[in-house]
């Protein structure tokens, strides 16, 4: 009996984006991103079935295009970037549910809290580029409740509107390079 060779894929930050979206005052959405991150996928074969994925993002690289808000997000009210420098994700399941579609479960750690989350993953395809590298593209989405990870700061306006929503939408468009 032969075992399949494991293939290591590394995230290509030049062709990737890691974003999150949160409601502000319940009437609009603020988009943020991480500028510094790393990720790997270890897979047997070409279809990523039962792959193992890991991902980290540097909290200090958070950006919402507003320096005051970014400073607040890095403070102890939210991420506490000084004490907890990265968020981490490690997959526990990478289940193929259809053609190019996966459900990925794993443990997400923000601050000192680790919770199981589920992500919807679409594999956009695998191609060779002009430099002889093999690349795979993925769109990844999920929803978490920020308060479950210790991001509990909240405020209410005089009119009674919540300043920051609890539900955070995760949206990653990432490209991986086969090593």
Please say whether the beta carbons of 31 and 73 come within 8 A. no
Domains of the chain, by residue range, sit at: 6-178
- pLDDT, one tens digit per residue, over 17-32 is 999 998 766 666 889 9
pLDDT band at 166 (very low <50, low <70, confident <90, very high): confident
Nearest to 173 by CA among 144, 137, 145: 137
pLDDT top residue among 178 and 47: 178
The mean pLDDT of 113-126, rounded to a whole number, is: 97
pLDDT top residue among 67 and 160: 67
- The overall average pLDDT reported for the chain is 90
Residue 155 pLDDT > 80: no
DSSP H stretches of helix in the chain: 67-74
Residue 2 pLDDT > 70: no
Q: What is the pLDDT of residue 149?
A: 92
Residue 161 pLDDT > 50: no
Cα pseudo-dihedral 111, 173, 129, 102, rounded to 10: 90
Please say whether the beta carbons of 141 and 165 come within 8 A. no
- pLDDT, one tens digit per residue, over 69-107 is 899 999 998 999 999 999 999 999 999 999 999 999 999
The domain at 6-178 falls in which architecture? Beta Barrel (2.40)
């Amino acid at each position: 009996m032969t075992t399949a060779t494991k293939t290591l894929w590394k995230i290509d930050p030049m062709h990737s984006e890691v974003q999150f979206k949160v409601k502000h005052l319940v009437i609009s959405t603020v988009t943020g991103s991480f500028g510094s991150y790393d990720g790997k996928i270890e897979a047997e074969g070409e279809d990523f079935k039962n792959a193992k994925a890991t991902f980290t993002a540097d909290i200090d690289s958070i950006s919402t295009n507003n320096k005051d808000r970014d400073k607040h997000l890095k403070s102890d009210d939210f991420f506490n970037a000084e004490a907890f420098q990265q968020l981490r994700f490690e997959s526990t399941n990478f289940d193929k549910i259809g053609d190019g579609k996966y459900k990925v479960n794993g443990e997400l750690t923000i601050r000192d809290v680790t919770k199981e989350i589920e992500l919807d993953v679409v594999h956009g395809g695998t191609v060779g580029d002009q430099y002889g590298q093999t690349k795979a593209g993925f769109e990844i989405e999920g929803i978490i409740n920020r308060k479950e990870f210790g991001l509990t700061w909240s405020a209410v306006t005089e009119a009674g509107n919540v300043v920051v929503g609890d539900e955070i939408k995760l949206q990653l468009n990432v490209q991986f390079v086969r090593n």
